[in-house]
Amino acid sequence: MMVDLVESYLAMRRACGFDLKSEGRCLLGFAVYTDTRGLDHVCRETAVEWATLARTVHQRARRIGHVIRFTRYARLEDFRHEMPVAIFGSEKGPRPVPYIMSSQEIQQLVQAAFQLGCHSLRQHTYGALFSLLACTGLRTSEAIHLRYQDITVDGLVIRNTKFRKSRLVPIHETARAGLERYLEQRRPYAPSDDHVFVSLRRKPLIVKDVETAFYAAAKAVGLPYPPMRPRPTPHSLRHSFAVRSLERCPDGRDHITKHMMALSTYLGHGNVAHTYWYLEATADLMRNIAERCEAFVTGASS
């Protein structure tokens, strides 16, 4: 039965570290759809028919993409499985343009966070959190899951991140001092919880809490929210860190390659291509790329 083959495929990929929650549900739905039609192999027409049941073209493209990857696995044992064609286009839409914050905007945002609400713990929590996100490029989820033992002499230990990998993030002495100041104020408030950042409920922060505080601080300093254009979000602090790091990249092909690999590791990207994407984020970086390409074509590059 197709269901058994799909479960075997999912077990193999999960053993390699993939989560596959939504993709797993999707493929099991395809397997049931195929089994009810009495088929024991992937049929190209059936795959397209099943994918068409999705509401949007993007969802249909994702369904076909899931089936294509599954079919590659299935054909290793049985060539009767027919490889579907990605007739609905790419399953991955273009990444949204990030909002890159200036140094002044980040400073104003952090200052506004230190004035949020009337409770000093809330003020210090979000002031320290946004400062840490801005100077390390951590994901919001990584920061709010930090525990006391993750602050080491070598830096912050980020455990079981987005791609189930842990990494060490070195931090500047000023960032460490800021964290220590916050912890001195935070420890007496919720001594039984070892999370670094806690809410007024004496519980670990959740993403929704962070978003609410960020938008309140952003509104207080007048960050723009124009329609149909990039808007600042908590993730903008990570984007801004990555772009400023690239802007400080030293010249020279070898230096650039090493810098990109180091930044990709520091940010915890699963693919270095995700780091190269930031090269398109600002006009300055695009101008640098154009100048280097021109130098290469004219023979002026090293």
Catalytic machinery residues: 139, 162, 235, 238, 269, 278
DSSP string, 198-242: B-TTSSB--HHHHHHHHHHHHHHHT----TTS----THHHHHHHH
Residue type, 213: A
Grouping H, G, I as helix, E, B as strand and the rest as coil, residue 56 is: coil
Q: For the chain, how big is the Rg over CA atoms in Å?
A: 24
**Paired tokens of 138:** 């951590």
Distance CA 108, CA 159 (A): 30
Cβ atoms of 126 and 113 closer than 8 Å: yes
Distance CA 279, CA 248 (A): 12
3-state helix, strand, coil in the chain (%, to 5): 55, 5, 40
Please, which residues have CB within 8 angstroms of residue 96's CB and are 6 or more apart in sequence?
230
Tally of residues, the chain: 302
C-alpha dihedral over 113, 115, 118, 120, to 10 degrees?
80
Report CA 49 to chain centroid distance, whole Å: 33
Nearest of 261, 282, 257, 281 to residue 272 by alpha carbon: 261
Rounded to a whole number of angstroms, the distance between the first and last alpha carbons of the chain is 59
Nearest of 132, 111, 141 to residue 182 by alpha carbon: 132
